[in-house]
Amino acid sequence: MRKHKALDILRHSAAHIMAFSVTELFPETKIAIGPSIENGFYYDFDRDKPFNPQDLTIIEKKMEEIIKNNYSFIRHYISKKEAINKFLAKGEKYKAEIVLEIEDEKVSMYESGKFIDLCKGPHINSTGELKYFKLLSIAGSYWRGDSSKKQLQRIYGTAFFSKKDLNNYLTKIEESKKRDHRKLGKDLNMFTIDNTVGSGLVLWHPNGALLKDIIENYWKRFHLKNDYELLSTPHIASEELFKTSGHIQTYSENMYAPIEIDGNPYRVKPMNCPMHLIIYKTKLHSYRDLPVRYAELGTVYRFEKSGVLHGLLRVRGFTQDDGHVIVSSEQLENEMLKIFNMAIDCLKTFGFNKYKIYLATKPKKKYIGKVEDWEKAQKSIENTLKKTGYKYEIDDGGGAFYGPKIDIKVKDTIGRLWQCSTIQFDFNLPERFDIFYINSFGKKVRPYMIHRALLGSLERFIGILLEHYSGELPIWLSPVQVVIININEEQCGYCIELLKKLKKNDIRSIFDDRNEKIGYKIRESAMQKIPYMVIVGSKEENTKTIAVRTRKNKNLGIMNINNFISFVRKNIKDNI
């Protein structure tokens, strides 16, 4: 058995043991669902009284007791009718609802001790096989993820086969808490999300807005260098556009309600692609024009349920690192390779050098397009990935309904994976918008279309950057690269001269002229993660020099300003 599959079974069994414990300790509690997930497991409970952190300790102790008793996991098959009656007799309405939706006449039940649960399995042989686990947190959840239904309480936990793996994971969680971008964003004066403005809507402070601008300027230069044309499209559009694209029919739950303008319904845009295709259609294209490469940093708005909003990582309004490439079938493979290499180059520039790469294939049920077209596209993507030299995995059935894709996940400094780049094939929109090009024989031909994002949303990417670097951004990304600190007021004139010279050389600098003790100002600058501190006292002013320290409290000694400028500019160049 593959290790990750065995770990899923262990964790799913741990969820059952946790539910067993909860129902023993709090008999009035009703149970919903309890799957294994990527890093552990959870179970959803319906209980009037909220769980608290102390309850988790009590539940853990009860789980240890159940584990010690070494109850076997025993599978039974019973009729749907019998299962429904059993669950309703115990008031377990959520389980009864699930049973009603099962097509088979018999259902699978697992018994361990006094606890019986609806489950397909498989499970570990007995509760005693679970040894290393930890309950982690409590959260809210809606039954079936539907906010119109009752809110439940979700308890998260994790489990491993060894104590070492568990301890490593718990250490990673603690490190993740220290790196939480929401705390760093506040400490570094980057951004605010305020309910007065609206949940999931980001207010960028000067430092955050400057960081976003630095990334955007790099992104634009990078795309122009790679033969893309930059576009800019409106934030709203006629509802008819999104009917043509199919978003009203398939994506309306993620879109905001229409607004009426001149008697016609308009929508704030959830995607940029329909407008890009309207631009494509404004002129006739021949095969000589292809590939057509469009790119836009377009702000889009999507309705996300309040329960899933999370700092910059999940928001309702965001700037999308968006690109669309129109190609002929003959160009598809080369263009996919070009985009893949662009993505890797871009991610490396920001300091990400470890990746997990996936080829997401045709969904099992709902998809559009001919099977042979899917197979051709998937084969092209597979050929592309083989040429890259990178290892990749097949995400069977993980493609969107409109085409297969490549997903690139980056690994950060503490080993967490983040989804960033996506290269998505699309069978849908070229057909819906009836786009074409004229081939060498003068005939109309339907081109292929590739959606691609290298960074994802800028909001999310900045959140990832802050956590990856724990706020200590590379010098080229740091909103403030140098802070000048005077010892007393006598040096103010000299410090202002230094500030002007640094700014003239495009080094982002500030002068901290507050009437505070030097030690306090140094500590605060270090906490602000500013890469370099220039300390100026009477000695430095008299000798026209500066004393330089780093944010890690390393003393770089005495320099003259010109040497320091050369030193900083070289470090900026080496960082990019």
Q: Residues with catalytic annotation? A: 273, 302, 320, 322, 324, 405, 451
Token pair 């010279």 is at which residue?
501
Respond yes or no on whether the N-terminal peptide bond of residue 430 is cis (omega within 30° of 0): no
- CA 361, distance to chain mean position in Å, is 21
Pairing type for strands 151-160 and 264-268 reads unpaired
- What is the SS3 assignment for 2-56? CHHHHHHHHHHHHHHHHHHHHHHHCCCCEECCCCEECCEEEEEEECCCCCCHHHH
d(CA 309, CA 44): 19
Both tokens assigned to 565: 């400028």
Pairing type for strands 417-426 and 405-411 reads antiparallel
Q: What is the DSSP letter of 119?
A: -
Q: Cβ(150)–Cβ(142) under 8 Å?
A: yes
- CA 166, distance to chain mean position in Å, is 24
Both tokens assigned to 560: 């003259």
Burial class (CB in 10 A: 0-12, 13-18, 19+), 217: exposed
Q: 500 by DSSP, 3-state: which? A: helix
Q: Cβ(336)–Cβ(461) under 8 Å?
A: no
Residue 70 CB contacts under 8 Å (≥ 6 apart), including other chains = 126, 127, 128
d(CA 118, CA 146): 21
Q: Cβ(123)–Cβ(16) under 8 Å?
A: yes
